[in-house]
Amino acid sequence: MELAQLRYFVAVVEEGSFTGAGVRLHVSQPGVSAQIRRLERELGQRLLDRSGRRVTPTETGEAVLSYARAALAAVEGVRRTAEEFSGLLRGRVTLGLIPGAAGAVVNGFDVVEALGNFHDEHPRVEIALSEDTSERMLVALLRGELDLAVVGLGGEPPAGISCQVLLDEPLVAAVRADDPLLAESVNGGIPLAALRDRALISLPRGTGLRGVLERACAEAGFAPRVEFEAAAPAVLVRLAARGLGVAVVPSGAESGAESGAGSRAGGALCALRITEPALNGRVALAWRTAGPAGPAARRLLGRLRAEAPGRPAP
């Protein structure tokens, strides 16, 4: 039995196809198939069910999968530990970011500056960045596909994930100065129920902010009528400035529309606090509670936690 065979087996299961595994591993599809057949012959058992559109593990394959993953993780741990003791930190760190996080400074914390400083100190460490929704990144963390992530939290982090909250801001309804909601506001606030029949502008499903909004609306007995979605709060407020709906954004985001909305925007936006209940959006640095597997990722996590503001998520 060879480690390459176990690596191919795990890749086929995770990708759901021999072709996908080949692309991921930079190996031809026939080469992957041949190695899997050799592994099955050696074990005397079929590990994969090839009868459906998606390749899935057999009962034996499911039982073998955890051991295959553990074997690969152990080998990687040996290699990385040896490199750590050599005095020259090497390896690869995968970091996920919510859209816009790389261009934002949160409470004085600049993730790009922090990564640049880390790279200056450890130039042999490869850092891979990707942007995605918070929901998908939290799943990727649990699977070990990401080492660290900056996510939006719509509630408590899932079991197995630890977080350090970087930003905790109330959510507001951003509207134009001529919007009827202003007449309904009391002391600069409106109840969540006032948004029941309004066209809303929000971040996409899977983001922390959208999760907060949908959960609160469900508890209030209605589904939010989201008619426009965008990945960055700055885009949401510009859409609101054009009168396309009510943007639900973190407090302070509405000020970004003034310079970019143009003369047709109807003036600066007004931010109305959402009350009954009050809603908050949180941005957090997240990682597996057990810690990243590699020394480079552990070192970067320690660096980011020391430099970042905030507190552990409850």
d(CA 190, CA 241): 19
207 CB contacts (<8 Å, ≥6 apart)?
Answer: 98, 133, 134, 135, 152, 154
Q: Delineate the domains of the chain, giving CATH numbers in brackets.
A: 3-85 (1.10.10.10), 91-166+282-312 (3.40.190.10), 168-281 (3.40.190.10)
d(CA 132, CA 92): 19
Using CA atoms of 257, 263, 267, 269 in order, give the dihedral in degrees to the nearest 10.
-20
Is the pLDDT at 310 greater than 70? The verdict is: no
Give the range among 41-45, 117-121, 263-267 with minimum mean pLDDT.
Answer: 263-267
Write down the pTM of the prediction: 0.64
Task: Quickly state the pLDDT bin for 104 (edges 50, 70, 90).
Answer: low
| 53 CB-side CA count, 13 A | 0
Between 90 and 145, the higher pLDDT residue:
145
Q: Which two tokens stand for residue 49?
A: 């069910």
Per-residue pLDDT of 160-215, as tens digits, reads 999 999 888 899 999 998 899 999 888 889 999 999 999 999 999 988 889 999 99
Task: Quickly state the pLDDT bin for 301 (edges 50, 70, 90).
Answer: very high
